Structure 1
Amino acid sequence: MGPERPLPCSPEFETSEQYVDSLLDFIGTSELLQALCGGVHVLDFFTRKPDLYSLVIDPDWRSFFRSHNIMDILDLLMRENLDVFDIGTDSWREGPVPPASLLQYIKQIRKLSLRREHTPIDRRAQKGANGPKTTHTLARQVAVGMNVKKIHEVDNFCRYLDKLTTEIADSTDREITHLVDFGAGQNYLGRALASEPYNKHIIALESRAHNIEGARNWDVLAKLAPKQPTMVNKKEWRVRQQAMAEQGISEKEAQKTDLKGKRGFHAETPAAPQEEPAQATLKISNSGVGSIQYVEHYIKDGDLSRVVPQIVDQDAIREKVTPDLEAAATRPPSSKQLPDNFVEGNLQIDNSIKAQDPRLLVISLHSCGNLVHHGIRSLLVNPSVSAVALVGCCYNLITERLGPPTYKLPSLRSNHPRLTQTAEAHDPHGFPMSARLCTQNTSSGEGVRLNITARMMAVQAPQNWGKKDSEDFFKRHFYRALLQRIFMDKGIVPAPAPADVENNNGSPLGWSAGGGTAPIILGSLRKSCYESFVSYVRGALEKLVNDPTRGEQFTEKMASMSDEEIREYEADFEERGKELSVMWSLMAFSAGVIEAAIVVDRWLFLKEQDEVADAWVEPVFEFKHSPRNLVVVGIKK
């Protein structure tokens, strides 16, 4: 069960343990990696002295980057066959060859990044020659509402989970009875798994009621659930029509305002009776095999004690334990039969999908932040959970466990309020999970620390960038960094104070005492704002002058700024725009190692637990469609 190697690492490593040793040693000792992934923030690129590019990038590297365009540099980082430089080439792409130290760094990052190649599962071969065609296992109505990316993810993950549950049943002689989806959202995955050809019993856990309601609506659109009939009170309808006519409101106008949560007319009419709530359990497929149970539940620490008792078939347990039903009725059930927190039917789970001895597989497709950590811990804290298979994303939303990192370069210390706030969280459920990473010796002390900047870079996918994508990324970063410089020059944010080199004890300083400027939350802007830097500045100011706390300051200090002055800023910093593009490319490329550390930490945590029989990591999607394509699997003994 599982792949030949528990981690999809480079074949250059003989074992996964050897890979982990090399990965953690590099993360803990490479000052360049620590600077690129966690020490550099785009907002500070044009405000620091000395500037970040000169501070972080070696002079030989800067000379090479000056001689080549950014697309060639991206090719070198991620696609070029580096063996061509071993034969003593004099030039590369009509320019100088890369410095040996740069080539060595690129080789190291490539070597330590996890392999992402995905081999699709042939379900026909798995189920036999008469199985369904392998091109697409999702029925058309099941795929309703999904884009191409989501169809790819759901289709492949369904195949993978079907194969995994089969292998678990074959190896343990006990079948998985239910799949528990952590953070089900609109339940695209659960809807597919409950349908043909999989017919699984799904417990869809979701903390937001509106997501559950939305998922039910998709069930109806997919023709997997009947539409709830709407009962109309004719008397009330006539009163409504009369009130609308008196106010001159058409039915169409009333519907529009109703969609916004407002009444389209004003009339003192009795409130309509509430509709009966839809059944929590959705029976799917003609044979009635698959099912979906929606549960509004806030997941914390992986504890499913409120959910699991509801799917235990207590009647079957009573019949098995006490054949004499009359005798059983005369004495109270034992604590093993009915848990203290058991409330009959409080989740409205249909009796037909209950199990005498439920064996759960906890799954999740692109669960954000700590939700993967809670899913992994569910294997340990719930006796009924037999296995987990989790695909994570949004590493920037993971909390930090060990506190702020330190930097040997003083001016790269944490200097933004958000960095300070997240670093001081000390969340026991944050990163790292494993004892191995918590005790790993690094150049900055004990334990591997990744701040929010490093983790945010880990969700980049530079291998998928095309020329247009890259230009858009670089333009946005250039505009935002240059706008921060304008804010500093206009006195909206103070200039960074000189870094305290002698007292670099690693404790995060506030922005007024560190090497950066105070961040200003700008948010998204209209697409038209990126047509020129003038448009960008005007669009940003349009939002910022309406800020309830600082709007007057922006109006006072920047209202008189002319278009010509804005263009002068762009012209003065235009050449350094390429430097920012090079830096961002190096950051995104290097962050492949950061993602590897996060995934490996989860695998190590599972391996450290006595209750876990096996654990592994493998790709389940095509990277070009879905870059966060690694599933972490754990099987309980």
Structure 2
Amino acid sequence: MGPESALPCSPEFESSEQYVESLLDFIGSSELLHTLCGGVHVLDFFTRKPDLYSLVIAPEWRSFFKEHDIMDILDLLMREDLGKFSQQADFWREGPVPPESLLRYIKQIRKLSLRREHTPIHRKDEHGANGPKTSHTLARQVAVGMNIKKIHEVDNLCRYLDKLTTEYAESRHSELTHLVDFGAGQNYLGRALASEPYNKNVIALESRAHNIEGARNWDVLAKLAPKQQIMRNKKEWRIQQQAMAAEQGISEKELQKLDLKGERESQAGVPAEEETAQATLKISNSGVGSIQYVEHYIKDGDLSKVVPQIVDQDAVREKVSDDITATRSEAPTSKQIPDNFIEGNLQIDDSIKAQDPRLLVISLHSCGNLVHHGIRSLLLNPSVSAVALVGCCYNLISERLGPPTYKIPSLRTDHPRLAETAAACDPHGFPMSSRLCNEDTTTGKGLRLNITARMMAVQAPQNWGKKDSESFFKRHFYRALLQRIFMDKSIIQAPEPVDVENNNGSPLGWSAGGGTAPIILGSLRKSCYVSFVAYVRGALEKLVNDPERGDLFKERMAIMTDEEINNYEETFAERGKELSVVWSLMAFSAGVIEAAIVVDRWLFLKEQDEVADAWVEPVFEFKHSPRNLIVVGIKK
């Protein structure tokens, strides 16, 4: 089972172990990588003296970047054939050739970043022939509610999981009985897996009641579940609604909103220890696949409160009996009761029963620690036989080796929001593996990734085009320039200047100093990015309502004229490209950070005696879904 290589690393490495050693050695020793991934932030770009660009980027690199367009620089980082530079050449794209030190750094990052090329899996039709390569296997009614990206992800992951379960059954002579989706959300993936042609039995775990309710509605729209029909005397019901609204002094529409809100709050207020016991059973695709919704807050990988619902028939019968009784009280039609609800003995379709359940835990872009919980479920639950998880949102992962350093010492800030979590030490966080916990680095024992490094790891610079690049480069420039205004108006303190002459031997000329405190701005309207004046005015609309510093913003910035704001943009305009260069280097370098996060999960599985095999491979096209690496673990 699994690909030829356990990790999708460069063919330059003879083995996965050789790749891991090289990866950890580079991350643990590269000062420049530490700087670009976790050491700097664009908010500090225009507030430091000497300027951040001069401190971070070597002089020969700055000379090269000055002579080339930013899109050419992006091509050099990610797409250009670097072999051409081995020949003696004086020019590249009507400018100087890149310095040798820059080429070495680019080659190293490319070499250590995991390969992301995806090979599609083509299902065979009933005659054994491969279907059209351009078509997807999702029926139109199953794909309802999905955008193009989601269709691509669900379709390809369904094919992959179908292949995985088939190979598991062939190699173990025993089939996986259920697929447990960690964080099912609207259950797009589970709905597709339970439908033709896959017909899987899916347990959809979700902590939010309104998501489960929304998923049920999609089931109805997809024609996988009957629409609940309530028959009532409309005239009498309307009179009751009008009387209740009049009694409360509100309109009928407002009364309906309150009723809905109260229902959701009562569902959300179920105590944690009772959540699973009160879970809702929902069967779709009678006689084929099935979906069982379980409202459960996942705090770790323990599924001891979930698994009994699959095998405890007494509990299931009681729940089904209650559901049918409640449904009948509303005078249903015969179409309301699914075919797999057999009257009399209230049996459940055999497709969801299992005396000896063997579970495959799955997830599609589970945020933060949810992937860690899924991986640990393989060890904590005897009934879990395998895991196959696609993660995302690395910035939401907690840190295990606390206290975390949100910025490297030379740029650390004492901002209270960061100080509040500085002592956090979460056993469920990164890193998972003993290998990374005990790795020797220049900053001490154990590999740590701060919040800035993890946020950069979710970037996808390979997908940046000219138009969208210009758009978010402008956004970064405006935000960094606004931070400069905050400093000039004494809303935030200026960072301590760096003593370049007494830099304690640092190759980048850094010594003690701090960045400016971040101010949470959030998103702004699209119209705010028409000009810097519009951006500042739009930001002030939000900031003047800040409960702590709103009056300060109003006093010191509301009086700024358009001319004064324009002067800032004109003064720093030439340095906008410098910010774009640094941001591009940060995003490009962070491919190594994502590799470290994914490799850590794989290493954790390899370290466990209970695990027979583990691997990582791409399951989506990177251009559609950059977080395209799945981590698979198979229990002995």
Over the matched positions of the two proteins, sequence identity in percent amounts to 80
Matched-pair contact (CA < 8 Å) for 1:311–1:349 = no
CA distance in 1, matches of 2:461, 2:255: 44
CA distance in 2, matches of 1:408, 1:143: 43
Q: Counterparts of 1:369-388 in structure 2 under 5 Å?
A: 369-388=368-387
The answer to whether structure 1 residue 15 and structure 2 residue 32 are counterparts is no
Matched-pair contact (CA < 8 Å) for 2:208–2:295 = yes
The answer to whether structure 1 residue 475 and structure 2 residue 474 are counterparts is yes
Q: Counterparts of 1:316-327 in structure 2 under 5 Å?
A: none
User: Structure 1 length normalisation: TM-score?
Assistant: 0.86
Instruction: Compute the displacement of 1:577 (Å).
Output: 0.8
Shift of the 356–291 alpha-carbon distance from structure 1 to 2, 3 Å rule, reads same
CA distance in 1, matches of 2:200, 2:556: 62
Secondary structure of 2:283 counterpart: strand
CA distance in 1, matches of 2:611, 2:259: 53
Instruction: Compute the displacement of 1:230 (Å).
Output: 2.7
Structure 2 residue aligned with 1:361: 360
CA distance in 2, matches of 1:113, 1:529: 36
Structure 2 residue aligned with 1:283: 284
CA distance in 2, matches of 1:423, 1:476: 29
Please list the CA deviations of residues 183-213 of structure 1 after superposition, one character each: whole Å capped at 9, or x if unmatched: 0000000000000000000000001111111
Instruction: Compute the displacement of 1:122 (Å).
Output: 1.3
Please list the CA deviations of residues 132-166 of structure 1 after superposition, one character each: whole Å capped at 9, or x if unmatched: 65521100000000000000000000000000001
Matched-pair contact (CA < 8 Å) for 1:415–1:514 = no
Shift of the 370–244 alpha-carbon distance from structure 1 to 2, 3 Å rule, reads closer
Secondary structure of 1:519 counterpart: coil
Alignment RMSD (CA, Å): 2.7
Structure 1 residue aligned with 2:145: 145
Amino acid at match of 1:93: R
Instruction: Compute the displacement of 1:246 (Å).
Output: 13
Matched-pair contact (CA < 8 Å) for 2:436–2:600 = yes
Instruction: Compute the displacement of 1:301 (Å).
Output: 1.6
Q: Counterparts of 1:298-447 in structure 2 under 5 Å?
A: 298-312=297-311, 350=348, 352=350, 353-404=352-403, 410-413=409-412, 415-447=414-446
Structure 2 residue aligned with 1:223: 223
Please list the CA deviations of residues 238-267 of structure 1 after superposition, one character each: whole Å capped at 9, or x if unmatched: 354689999999xxx965x5675589xxxx
CA distance in 1, matches of 2:244, 2:436: 68
CA distance in 2, matches of 1:622, 1:516: 38
Moved more, 409-418 or 597-606: 409-418
The unaligned stretches of length 5 or more in structure 2 are 261-277, 315-345, 505-511
Secondary structure of 2:363 counterpart: strand
Instruction: Compute the displacement of 1:50 (Å).
Output: 2.1
Structure 2 residue aligned with 1:509: none
Structure 2 residue aligned with 1:332: none
Matched-pair contact (CA < 8 Å) for 1:499–1:515 = no
Instruction: Compute the displacement of 1:403 (Å).
Output: 2.3
Matched-pair contact (CA < 8 Å) for 1:386–1:635 = yes
Structure 2 residue aligned with 1:92: 92
Matched-pair contact (CA < 8 Å) for 2:395–2:451 = yes
Q: Counterparts of 1:475-624 in structure 2 under 5 Å?
A: 475-498=474-497, 514-624=513-623
Moved more, 45-54 or 105-114: 45-54
Matched-pair contact (CA < 8 Å) for 2:37–2:453 = yes
Structure 1 residue aligned with 2:320: none
The unaligned stretches of length 5 or more in structure 1 are 264-276, 316-347, 505-512
Aligned length: 578
Amino acid at match of 2:112: L
Moved more, 470-479 or 47-56: 47-56
Matched-pair contact (CA < 8 Å) for 1:400–1:423 = no
Secondary structure of 2:578 counterpart: helix
Matched-pair contact (CA < 8 Å) for 2:48–2:495 = yes
CA distance in 1, matches of 2:590, 2:256: 44
Matched-pair contact (CA < 8 Å) for 1:400–1:422 = no
Secondary structure of 1:618 counterpart: strand
CA distance in 2, matches of 1:404, 1:50: 29
CA distance in 1, matches of 2:532, 2:241: 52
CA distance in 2, matches of 1:67, 1:35: 24
Instruction: Compute the displacement of 1:308 (Å).
Output: 0.7
Instruction: Compute the displacement of 1:102 (Å).
Output: 0.2
Secondary structure of 2:613 counterpart: strand
Instruction: Compute the displacement of 1:464 (Å).
Output: 0.2
Matched-pair contact (CA < 8 Å) for 1:281–1:292 = yes
CA distance in 1, matches of 2:357, 2:245: 55
Instruction: Compute the displacement of 1:43 (Å).
Output: 0.9
Moved more, 186-195 or 44-53: 44-53
CA distance in 2, matches of 1:210, 1:243: 25
Secondary structure of 1:284 counterpart: coil
